[in-house]
């Protein structure tokens, strides 16, 4: 004898669809993130050198002022170009040059692509503004970096932006 009524205590039926968004990404190692940050910092060093030499030449009484101004202009244009390249890479791929070199990228904590506004506003500008506050800023900046040693391997700016850094 079969009963045609449904069991109110039975487990619900569900269709399971596997997607890439549902697959948890593997978080990047702390050392990989450090190497990417160092690479991003060192990339700009050759672009700062013309600024320093140009400033020295332009301010020296016996130096060539025009050559100093040209060097300053080259340095400024180079730094602006680097910032633009880094921002475009962040907007398109969630990566900087250093992150691409290390094979990591920034995503939302749920694995979705992170928006440019979230990267710029919440990962860069907000921590920068808080970091600029006298006394509190120094403590915050140190805490921001040291927070990566927590179980989640996320800095404070990652929590601000609801982001994680994962292997690409």
Tell me which long-range contacts 49-52 makes (C-beta under 8 A, separation of at least 24).
49/75, 50/74, 50/75, 50/78, 51/75, 51/76, 51/79
Q: 112 with 156: CB under 8 angstroms? A: no
Q: Residue 20's pLDDT is what?
A: 47
Stretch among 62-66, 77-81, 82-86, 119-123 having the lowest mean pLDDT:
62-66
Contacts of residue 37, defined as CB under 8 A and 6 or more positions apart, other chains included, come to: 98
Return the sign of the alpha-carbon dihedral for residues 147, 152, 156, 158.
positive
Q: Give the CA radius of gyration of the chain.
A: 24
State how far the Cα of 4 lies from the Cα of 56, in Å rounded to an integer.
91
Going from N- to C-terminal start, the domains of the chain cover: 30-167
Tell me the pTM.
0.76
Bridge pairing between strands 104-108 and 163-167 = antiparallel
pLDDT at 62 over 90: no
- Average pLDDT of the chain to the nearest whole number: 87
Query: Which of these, 91, 78, 27, lies nearest to 49 by C-alpha position?
Result: 78
pLDDT per position as a tens digit, 91-122: 999 999 999 999 999 999 888 999 999 999 99
pLDDT digits (tens, 9 = 90+) for 8-57: 776 666 444 333 455 556 899 999 999 999 999 999 999 999 999 998 88
């Amino acid at each position: 004898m079969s009963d045609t009524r449904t069991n109110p205590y039975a487990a619900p039926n569900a269709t399971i669809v596997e997607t890439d968004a549902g697959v948890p990404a593997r978080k990047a190692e702390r050392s990989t993130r450090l190497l990417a940050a160092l690479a991003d910092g060192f990339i700009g060093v050759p672009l700062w050198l013309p600024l320093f030499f140009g400033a020295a030449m332009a301010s020296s009484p016996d130096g060539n002022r025009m050559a100093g101004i040209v060097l300053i202009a080259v340095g400024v244009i180079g730094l602006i170009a680097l910032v633009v390249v880094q921002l475009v890479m962040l907007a398109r791929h969630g990566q900087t040059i250093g992150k691409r070199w290390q094979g990591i990228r920034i995503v939302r904590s749920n694995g979705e692509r992170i928006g440019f506004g979230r990267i710029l506003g919440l990962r860069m500008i907000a921590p920068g503004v808080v970091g600029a506050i006298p006394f509190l800023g120094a403590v915050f900046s140190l805490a921001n970096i040291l927070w990566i040693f927590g179980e989640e391997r996320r800095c404070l700016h990652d929590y601000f932006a609801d982001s994680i850094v994962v292997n690409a």
